[in-house]
Amino acid sequence: MKKKVLFFLLVLITTLWSCTKERAKKVFVVFSYHPEFSWVISENGGIDEVFEGKKLEVERFYMDTKRKTGLEWMKQVSDSAIARIETFKPDVLMVFDDNACEWVAKHYVNTDLPVVFAGMNNEPSDYGFPAENVTGVIERIPFYDIISFLKTLVPEVQSVAFISDDSPTSEGIEDNLKELELPVDVAEIVATNDFREWKAKIVEWQDKVDAIGVLTFNTITDTLTGESLKPEKVIDWIVENNKIPDFASFEFGVEYGLLCGATSPASAQSIVAAEMALKILGGVKPADLEIVNPENVIKLLNTKRAEQLGIYIPEGVEYEKVE
């Protein structure tokens, strides 16, 4: 009799232990860029804020496609990401920015693996979204807010030109820009990875437009040396040689030295995406979560650049100060 009681107690204890030892849910996160990139740091901050204290096993993979842009690398690194995903067997896959959407998320459209994306500048339909197993957060540059803020600082701005690298991210941004009605004339939009062309255009625009907008600038190459230029070096040259107001479409452009900008922070987008992932882990179907575009916009001003350009900052203007 005692043996039977001990046996049942052992079974009960084992059952209770198994219940408390329930497997942690698994989330695999693919970033398009490298972990030291300020945008990725902000994305990771948003994820960590939402996932903190949750019983989750999180694995992160960085594609490094800002510093390595060749087609061969894209294929190699995306194959590596997919292999890691297949081994890890996540309950939810999260992908950040357009290259991860193109090279990884598309592989899982209409499969059993739930996918949440964020930081997408192109149209979801470019990647076969929405799908039954896919939802997420699109990113749209708040161009109207940027230009309005610029005109608050420099009311006489009537015409602008935009310059960008030539990358998957810039393509979506430029398409969106062309569809907008802005309170200025857009004289020209140039997309090139050739730093010589960047410098020539900046010089040419000095007496043709009132301000210059810098979109993306992470895949610029010095064609004379073949060197892939660090983003900071590109902006350093602009700050040194451009004598008219300049503005950025991302916060790091202002942080590197451009006059002003307005942005939906990467952390804000990743917070929404991480919250979506939690809902899916809780049983909500991705198809029941609408694709969204966070509307919170932060205005940024580099006060050192304002001083360099001799721009007076009106009283009562709200902004986050960058130096």
Q: pLDDT digit string (tens) for 100-123?
A: 999 999 999 999 999 999 999 888
Dihedral class, residue 115 (left if φ above 0, else alpha if ψ from -120 to 50, else beta): beta
Candidates 278, 257, 175; CA nearest to 212 is 257
The string of pLDDT tens digits covering residues 287-314 is 999 999 877 788 999 999 999 999 999 8
Segment 37-41 shows an average pLDDT of 89
- The letter for the amino acid at 291 is I
Mean pLDDT, the chain, whole residue set: 90
In one letter, which amino acid is 166? Answer: D
- Phi/psi at 17 (5° precision): -65, -40
Residue pair 297/144 in contact (Cβ under 8 Å)? The answer is: no
CA distances from 190 to 170, 194, 195, 215 (A): 10, 11, 12, 10
**Angstrom distances, CA of residue 99 to CA of 17, 78, 84, 216, 291:** 43, 9, 17, 14, 18
Q: What is the pLDDT of residue 8?
A: 55
Give the Cα separation of 243 and 239 in Å (integer). Answer: 8
The tokens of 224 are what? Answer: 């004379």
Q: Which domains occur in the chain, in start order?
A: 23-139+266-292 (3.40.50.2300), 143-263+299-322 (3.40.50.2300)
pLDDT the model gives residue 17: 46
DSSP-derived 3-state class of residue 304: helix
Q: pLDDT tens digit string along 163-205?
A: 999 887 788 888 888 888 899 999 999 999 999 999 999 999 9
Closest CA to 33 of 82, 113, 91, 98: 98
